[in-house]
Amino acid sequence: MAETCYRHPNRETAVSCSSCGRPICPDCMTPSPVGMRCPECMKQRTKVVRGVGGASLRTAAPATFALIALNVAVYLAEVASGPGGINSPGASLIVHYGLFGPSVASGQWYRLLTSAFLHEGLWHLGGNMLLLFFLGRILEPGIGTPRFVALYVASLLAGSFGALLLSPESLSYGASGAVFGVLGATFVVARGRGVDALASSVGALILLNLAFSFGVPGISVGAHLGGLAAGVACALLIVAGERGMLGHRHFPAEMIAMCAIGVLSIVAALAIA
Residues involved in catalysis: 176, 224
User: What's the 3-state SS for the chain?
Assistant: CCEECCCCCCCEECCECCCCCCECCHHHCEEECCEEECHHHHHHHHHHHCCCCCHHHHHHCHHHHHHHHHHHHHHHHHHHHCCCCCCCCCCHHHHHHCECHHHHHCCCCCHHHHHHHCCCCHHHHHHHHHHHHHHHHHHHHHHCHHHHHHHHHHHHHHHHHHHHHHCCCCCECCCHHHHHHHHHHHHHHHHHCCCHHHHHHHHHHHHHHHHHHHHCCCCCHHHHHHHHHHHHHHHHHHHHHHCCCCCCCHHHHHHHHHHHHHHHHHHHHHHHC
